[in-house]
Structure 1
Amino acid sequence: MSGHGFHVHGPHDHELEHAAHADPGGMAGQLAVVTAILATVGALFSYMGGTAQANAVLDKNTAAIKKTEASDQWNFYQAKSSKQSLAELAAVLAPEAKRADYEQQAQRYKTEKEAIKVQAEALEKESKDWDERSEQQLHIHHRWAQATTVLQVAIALAAIALLTRRRWLEWATIGGGVVGIAIGVAALLHL
């Protein structure tokens, strides 16, 4: 702009003025705010989905560890069973003087076996519980992922609405955002 009242617009200035006058309802401004909100909520949902997925993996890992510990106990149980069987056989085949000793060993192995069995069953139950927790976390992860995806689609609709200046697409953007947030609330409530 010159100091003498003569003003020449550049092409960029002209486009900015045209855009400002072409959107009297403020569609661009509304969509910018809606998009910013959806992107923020989407980022939070994405974080929550990642957390749920990590928890599912950790729970599955713990389940596998418990399953391995249970397997170790069952192997120990089998070893005690074999020793018990050998002691019982020895009690039958041994001379009368040594039978009592072998019968006592067989009884000891039988008692030890029962304690091992209880521990193995408890570890199997723990493993099953951790597996169930993992499945729950994975379900929640899927909910967060669904919510994030719907919000991303809503953001894409906002861009299309802005480019085409279609009000129905703006409403579709808002509707998509509401649906995405509702799915996120379902994830938060573990539904």
Structure 2
Amino acid sequence: MSGSHFHVHGPHDHEIEHAAAHGDKDPFAGRVAVTTAILATVGALFSYEGGATQAAATLYKNDAAIRKTEAADRWAFYQSKSGKQNLAELGMGLLGAQPQNEAVLAEIARLKAEAERYKGEKDGLKKEAEALDHESAEFDEKSAHELHTHHRWAQATTAIQVAIALSAIALLTRRNWLQMGVYAVGAGGVALGIAAAMHL
């Protein structure tokens, strides 16, 4: 007890204090402490990268959804123009069966111009919709790629966390074989981190 405060120390805390107090006299504890510090630093970097790739995957997925919605709007306009074009063509067909006079011919000409206008508008809308569908697919692909990379970073971070936990156990039990396990699992985590950085 120090002053009016209680301090509760876990076994790991006690070992760290012991290592600090005995410095060079306990090389095992020093090696484990340095390894743990390095692993914690690497783990923090991996965790940051994992969060960044997860955020990027979410942004790309949002962009894909926005483009898909915009494409759906264009396709709806396309359908609307198709319906109007069909009505104009139907009107021309019905009027063509009527006795021809100046008013009927003028109405047929108007409907023909209207049908042509709708056809031209439809072509533009179709190109826009197809381009937006293509952009949406590209954003979906980017999102999937970022999500895959995020999973790699998460695996690397998990391996580093397991190595840190093993280092605490190694420090408490003073088992050299556990220290070798720390190095092996830590190396596996670093290898996964390298794979994530290389987008494998």
TM-score above 0.5: yes
Residue 188 of structure 1 corresponds to which residue in structure 2? 197
Shift of 1:93: 2.0
* Secondary structure, aligned partner of 1:190: coil
1: CA distance, partners of 2:191 / 2:112: 68
Aligned length: 176
Residue 52 of structure 1 corresponds to which residue in structure 2? 53
2:88 counterpart of 1:79: no
The Cα offsets for residues 94-151 of structure 1, whole Å up to 9 and x where unpaired, read as: 3333111111111111111011101100000000000000000000100000000000
Residue 139 of structure 1 corresponds to which residue in structure 2? 148
In structure 2, do the counterparts of structure 1 residues 105 and 155 end up closer, same or farther at CA, with 3 Å as the change threshold? same
Residue 128 of structure 1 corresponds to which residue in structure 2? 137
> Structure 2, unaligned stretches of length 5 or more?
1-13, 96-103
In structure 2, do the counterparts of structure 1 residues 78 and 189 end up closer, same or farther at CA, with 3 Å as the change threshold? same
* Secondary structure, aligned partner of 2:199: coil
> Structure 1, unaligned stretches of length 5 or more?
1-11
1: CA distance, partners of 2:106 / 2:49: 71
Identity %: 59
2: CA distance, partners of 1:79 / 1:123: 18
TM-score of the aligned structures, taking structure 2 as reference length: 0.83
1: CA distance, partners of 2:107 / 2:145: 57
Which of 117, 120, 124 is the aligned partner of 1:115? Answer: 124
Q: Which letter maps to 1:173? A: V
The Cα offsets for residues 167-186 of structure 1, whole Å up to 9 and x where unpaired, read as: 00000001111110110011
Q: Which letter maps to 1:47? A: Y
